[in-house]
Structure formats: structure tokens, C-alpha cells
Structure 1
Amino acid sequence: MSPHVTAFFDEATNTITYLLREPEGRACAIVDSVLDFDYASGRTDTRSADAVIAQIEAQDLDLQWILETHVHADHLSAAPYIQERLGGKIGIGDRITVVQATFGKIFNEGTRFQRDGSQFDRLFRDGDSLQIGQMRCDVLHTPGHTPACLTYVIGDAAFVGDTLFMPDFGTARCDFPGGSAEDLYDSVQKILRLPDATRIFVCHDYMAPGREVFAWESTVGEQRARNVHIGAGRDKAEFVAMRQRRDASLAMPRLIIPSLQVNMRAGQMPEPEDNGLRYLKVPLNGL
């Protein structure tokens, strides 16, 4: 089974949203949608999600799943908006509860914020599967960047979220609360055990030095041979030391504060206050 994959690149956040559909039939899914957000004004916009919706409607597809690879720290999810427009179930890894507990404390969320993952329609464990029409999707738990990261494997395609980048850019950072370079190493090895020809679709591309175009598709074989952080048989101790040094030098993502608060709620905004407005919190010196 080889799903048809269409990529939508959001230049503002360097995020790639994927629309995947069965080769014959109407069933489709979306992986890692984007809600446009202007931090300076606090305004949201749906133009990125609308582009995906327009393609689904133009092809008369049946949206069955809106999948999240993890709780993103660099963009807001458009999952609830897309679900309202087209239906489909919203899914994420079952370790979302760990992420919710961690950031529920950091953002001092009250009792109205449920930390049981109930904002999502389905919580996936390692080894679970789901159907997208005639396509079977297998779920791999691939933590390290966050405790709840998943890889979705559909036929010859694997959607790896932030776990891997393009081979010339490497791997995800592991310094957020709950991250682990040791876990990331093990998760990448799990992905690299897939067949060499498996297509790897990454969630972000920041255009590595020396490259002139954005890119988001490689293969397991290419990652195993050429990934600058973990390819060519780099051992675990060397990788962990490299990752920890590199992470210590990285700035926080520009949209981490709004992204975490929204995405741990499955893309929903916080509950409105007495004046009818919704607010995002900024924890001073908390991250």
C-alpha cells in the first residue's frame, strides 16, 4: 500500500501539514495541521487549514482522521476547526496525559483543564492501528522530543513528526520538560528498522546550510546512511552527548507559549473568562 501524499508547507512556522489518501477510494487523513497565529496581535487565521480543506473538497474526499504526531511547541493545531468543517476523529499518543500534567502545572491550569486526554477522540498506544479506508496505519511510540511523540506508518510511508528532520539537518531537540536524548536515540532506531525504501515525511524543515530549497521527504535508507546526527552507525553515548551540547545552545521556539497551551487541549483555546474573552498565560521564568 502506497498512500498518495500531498504536502502543505507553512513558511511562517516551517511546518509541513500532510494530506494522505488511499490510492483507490476517497478516504483520507490529515497529519499535523496548522492554525495561523499572529503573536503580536493575538489573532488567529485559518488560511493554512483552508488550503487543505479546499483540496479535500475539490477531490471529494472523506476525511476520517486528523492526526497529531505530538503536542507541538512551534505552531498551533487547526484540528478542531478542520473537524468542525469536515468531520473526522482527532488522535494523538496516549502519553499526552504526561504532557498535560507537566504543562498543566507550568501554566497553573485550574480544575477545568482535564489532564486525562479526553479532549482528543482517540489516544494511541505503541502497536495500535487504525484504518483510513482500506489503508492500515500502524502506530509507533517514538518518545524523546516529547513523551507523547508518535510515528504513523502507512504502507511505504512513515510520518515521524519532529523525531527526525531531513538527513542534512539531523534530529529533534530533547530539552523540553519530559524530553530525553536517550529515548530519542532508541526511537530513531525503531524507525530505522523499517524497510530502506520507506518514505520518511518530517514535520519541519529549516533548510540546512548549503541547501537552497525546502524539503520534507527522504527514505529510511537515506536517513540511516546520511543523517548528520545519527546516521552511519553513530553510537548512543556519542549521540546523547552531541544532542545535549546542541540543545543547550538553542533558543526557545517563538510560539512555544501559545502552542503548548492550545495543543495540549487538542487545538482548543482556553476557556473564556467572565468578559467572554479567552486568554493565554505567559509563565515568567517558567520555561
Structure 2
Amino acid sequence: MQPAVKAFFDDATNTISYVVRDPQGSSCAIVDSVLDFDYASGRTDTRSADEVIAYVEAEGLKVEWILETHVHADHLSAAPYLQERLGGKIGIGENITIVQDTFGKVFNEGTEFQRDGSQFDALFTEGDTFMVGQMRGEVMHTPGHTPACLTYVIGDAAFVGDTLFMPDFGTARCDFPGGSSENLYNSVQRILALPEETRIFVGHDYLPTGRDEYKWETTVAEQKASNIHVGAGASKDDFVSMRDARDAKLAMPKLILPSLQVNMRAGQMPQPDDNGDVFLKVPVNKL
């Protein structure tokens, strides 16, 4: 089955969110939503999420799933806002508990912060399946960028999050806590073992040199042939050496501190204080 896929590009974070629709009905899933956040002012905005809502409502769609490919470090999730407006269950990989444990300590969250993934409606593991109308989705555990990364294969479409980018940009960084360039290489090989005609939808595009328009859809065949990091039969040893050296020079994402605190809570803000005010923490010398 070939799902209809509508992409929404967020200029501020170079993130692509997707609405994945059953071509034989009105059911859909939303993948990797964005809550706008201005770090300087500490203010949130729902412009990006409202675009998704407007599309879903205009098309008369029923949201069954709000899916996260992983705990994003570069944008905040709008999952709770979308769920309140549109319904659907929020799903992520079961290894969210590892991420919660790691960053619960980094942000000194204390015992009030549950580290069991209970903030999410569903915790997926390798081989799990789910339905979007008449379409069956399959779950692949594809760690490396983070230990909780998933690829969702729905019909002929694979939503890979940050594991792979467009062929001319390569692959995700692996230097976050719990990341592993060796695991990423193995995960990519599993994705590239899907049928060559499988459509791959990436989580970000950064407009590399030589290209003048953003892109987010490719295929397994194109990735195998020309991905600059893993294409043309690149060896694991060469990839690990390249990836580790490259990651050592990368700066932290601009929104990593607010993103992790919110996204490990399924998009919810930390509990407000007695006055109803919400605060995010800035740990010093922790990352």
C-alpha cells in the first residue's frame, strides 16, 4: 500500500513533520511534530502545529497516531497540543526510559519525574505493528543517533527521523549520551535492506552546498547508491572513523536544553510551581 504523505517544513529548526494518510480512508498519523519556541524570550507558539491541524481538518482526517521517531534535541514536540485538538495516541520507542534516566540526572529532575515512559500512550519495540486505518505500520528499532530511535515503515514509506538524511547530506550525529556510530551504521544497513523502491522520508534537511531547494523524500535505492556517508558499500570501519571525527567538531543544537526537558515528557512542560509558572533548567557544564 502507498500512503499519501503531506510534509510540513519548519524553517526555524529545519524539521520536517509528516501527515501520513490511508489512501483508502480518512485515517492518518502525524510524525515528528513541532512546537515553535523562541529561546531568547522563553515563549512558545503553535504556528507550525496549527498548519498541521488546518490540513487535517480541511481534509476531514481522523488522527490515530502521533508518532515520535526519537527524543528530539533540536525542536520541541507539539504532540500534547495536537492530541488535545485532534485526538490520537502518542507513541515512541520503549528505550525512551534510557533517555529519561540519563537526562533525568542531567537536569536533576528528582523523584517526581517518572522514568518509565508513562508520559506516552504507547512504547514500541522492535517488530511491533500498529494500524492507521487499513494500513499496517511496522516498527524498526534503529539506534545510533539516540538509543531510542525508531523507523516507522508504513506501506511503502519509511520515516527514519534523524538516522538518515538526504543522500547529499549523509547521516545523523552520534555524540549524544547513548549514541553510537557503530550502532548507527548497523541501523542504516537494516533500513537499506528494505525494498529498493521504499520511499524514505527524513527528519531534517539543511540545504547542503550545491543544492538550492529543500528536499526530504528519497528512496532506498538512491541512498544505497549515493549517500555520501554510507552509500556505495561504505565499510563500517570507515564510517565509524568518519562519523566520530565529524561529531567531535559539532556544536550542540541551539534548542537542546529546552527540547530534551520537554520531549522526554512526551511534549509536556515541567510541572508548574505554586504560582502556575513553568521553568526550564540550564545545567552548567553537563553536556
The TM-score normalised by the length of structure 2 is 1.00
3-state SS in 2 of match to 1:130: strand
SS in 1 for 2:234: coil
Match of 1:205 in 2: 205
Q: 1 CA distance for matches of 2:61 and 2:207?
A: 32
The separation in 1 between residues aligned to 2:154 and 2:275, in whole angstroms, is 46
Q: Deviations over 1:87-116 (max 9, x none)?
A: 100000000000000000000001110000
Partner amino acid, structure 1, of 2:249:
S
Residue 275 (structure 1) shift: 2.3
| 1:38 lines up with 2:38 in the alignment | yes
Secondary structure of the residue aligned to 1:48 is: helix
* Residues matched between the structures, number: 287
Whole-Å separation in 2 of the counterparts to 1:57 and 1:110: 40
Question: In 1, Cα distance between the equivalents of 2:132 and 2:29?
Answer: 7
What is residue 95 of structure 1 aligned with on the other side? 95
User: Equivalent residue for 1:117?
Assistant: 117
Aligned to 2:25: 25
User: Which residue matches 2:239?
Assistant: 239
Counterpart of 2:204 in 1: which secondary structure? coil
Secondary structure at 2:54 match in 1? helix
TM-score by length of 1: 1.00
- What's the secondary structure of 2:172's corresponding residue? coil
Structure 2 equivalent of residue 180 of structure 1: 180
How big is the shift at 1:276? 1.5
Structure-1 residue corresponding to 2:14: 14
Q: Distance in 2 between matches of 1:176 and 1:117?
A: 20
Q: Which amino acid counterpart does residue 176 of structure 2 have in structure 1?
A: F
Per the TM alignment, residue 274 of structure 1 is displaced from its structure 2 partner at its CA by 2.2
SS at match of 1:213: coil
What is the aligned-residue RMSD (CA, Å)? Answer: 0.4
Q: How far did residue 219 of structure 1 move? A: 0.2
Instruction: Specify the code of the residue in structure 2 equivalent to 1:265.
Output: R
| 1:222 pairs with 2:254 | no
User: Runs (4+) of structure 1 moved beyond 3 Å?
Assistant: none
Asked if residue 77 in structure 1 is aligned to residue 77 in structure 2, the reply is: yes
Cα distance in 1, alignment partners of residues 68 and 212 from structure 2: 29
Matched to 2:256, the amino acid is I
* Separation in structure 1 between the aligned mates of residue 217 and residue 117 of structure 2, nearest angstrom: 30
CA distance in 2, matches of 1:24, 1:130: 17
Structure 2: give runs of 5+ residues left out of the alignment. none
